[in-house]
Amino acid sequence: MLELAIQGSKKYFGWIIALLVVIGMAFGIYRLQLDFGLGITGMSRDVSWGFYIAQFTFLVGVAAGGVMVVTPYYLHHYKAFGKITILGEFLAIAAITMCLLFILVDLGQPMRMFNVLLYPTPNSVLFWDMIVLNGYLFLNIVIGWNVLEAERNQTHYPMWLKPLIYLSIPWAVGIHTVTAYLYCGLPGRGFWLTAILAPRFLSSAFAAGPALLILLCLFIRKVTKFDPGREQIQSLAKIVAYAICLNVFFFLCEVFVVFYSQIPEHMDHLKYLFIGLHGHGNLVGWMWTSMFLMLAGIILLVNPYTRKNETSLAIGCFVIFAGTWIDKGLGMISGGFVPSPLHHVTEYAPTLPEIGITLGVYAAGFLVLTLLFKMAIGVKEEVRA
């Protein structure tokens, strides 16, 4: 099937080359980082995780979001989604690829990364995160490939695949739960020390993942002969609507607990993010933008008129994706480190090289996504013809 990914129009190859150029430039910057150390990033002794880990966290959510098309189809036999499950699974593969790359570029000694396997440490959540992320990647590759191949041959996928498909459903929940556990089990980090963190992560994931998928479906309909289908897009839109409402609700639960209890160690982080702390407030504008975008998304997606109109739906999905990205990709990690456990305020902002490497990882993810989607759509066009 891979041959389908290397046939295409000039525009298709133009896009591939553009991605390769970005990846190449980012690789050059990464070599500088390897040479100099992580000092070329904006991270510091106080804010020891930055943009890379934040992107990783957000993208685990996008990957887990794929389960929102898999579950209705395989578990509830919602036939309409049969057409697009492969897109959800392939999106998950691309997202997990980016997650693993972000962890890699964040390591101070990347050549020692296999120490995690050489000295397995079950008491470390990072050990489990390695297992669930790689497991999810493996599951989606096996499932996606076999289901697509069966579709191409117009047969049923092999029966041995069924248990793996069922396993992939709780596994998707697992990847984002374990990722939340990286943070919420740490004493002395009041911002993350909350049982609602994993549910919050999941709800924002189930909004951001399917929202991106809707945008991709609309794009695919425009540029290929394959139509993911109006019903499919509308069903996804309802999922996004529920999920983004839950995400904002969970956030407000957190806000209530923090500000009604008035415990300073928990309040300070939210204060830093939304009103600034001791005169420092780099993220204040961003956080309010995020809230505004998510609210706008709720209005556009809950209201049936704007949800059913595909233009306003696209806008709604875009603002939800952007809003959840700011929330997790900017605020969630820095917010936990400011103020520091000693109550010093050291602010963090990514540097240019850091942003360059980040763009490169995103380009690598989009390259994987493009090739996989090209293959899937090629099969769909072939079968239809």
Partner 1 sequence: MMETSRRRFLQMAGIAVVGFTATPVLDAFAAEHGGHEAVPSVKPGPDGLKAKQWAMVIDTRKIKSAKDLEPMIEACHKIHNVPTFTDKHHEIKWIWHEEYKHAFPSDVAKFMDERLEHVPFPVLCNHCENPPCVRACPTKATFKRPSDGIVMMDFHRCIGCRFCMAACPYGARSFNFRDPRPFIKETNKEFPTRMKGVVEKCNFCSELLAIGKQPACVEASNGILTFGDLYDSESEVRKLLKENFTIRRKQNLGTEPSVYYIV
Contacting residues toward partner 1, per CB under 8 A: 36-39, 42-46, 48-49, 103, 106-110, 112-113, 115-116, 118-119, 121, 123-127, 130, 182-183, 186-189, 264-265, 336-337, 340-344, 346
φ/ψ (deg, to 5) at 187: -70, 150
Q: What is the 3-state secondary structure (H, E, C) of 7-40?
A: CCCHHHHHHHHHHHHHHHHHHHHHHHHHHHCHHH
Least distance between partner 1 and beta carbon 191 (Å):
11
271: Cβ–Cβ under 8 A, 6 or more apart, which residues? 277
Least distance between partner 1 and beta carbon 137 (Å):
18
Least distance between partner 1 and beta carbon 328 (Å):
16
- Of 46 and 254, nearer to partner 1 (C-beta) is 46
Ordered DSSP codes for 337-374: HSS-TT---------HHHHHHHHHHHHHHHHHHHHHHH
Least distance between partner 1 and beta carbon 64 (Å):
21
Cα–Cα dist 168/46, whole Å = 37
- Of 94 and 198, nearer to partner 1 (C-beta) is 198
- Of 342 and 385, nearer to partner 1 (C-beta) is 342
**Is residue 33 within 8 Å of residue 308, measured between CB atoms?**
no
- Of 126 and 195, nearer to partner 1 (C-beta) is 126
Alpha carbons within 13 angstroms on the beta-carbon side of residue 282 total 13
Cα–Cα dist 88/356, whole Å = 27
- Of 28 and 341, nearer to partner 1 (C-beta) is 341
Cα–Cα dist 58/73, whole Å = 25
**Is residue 91 within 8 Å of residue 212, measured between CB atoms?**
yes
- Of 52 and 366, nearer to partner 1 (C-beta) is 52
- Of 56 and 206, nearer to partner 1 (C-beta) is 56
Least distance between partner 1 and beta carbon 210 (Å):
30
Least distance between partner 1 and beta carbon 235 (Å):
39
Least distance between partner 1 and beta carbon 102 (Å):
12
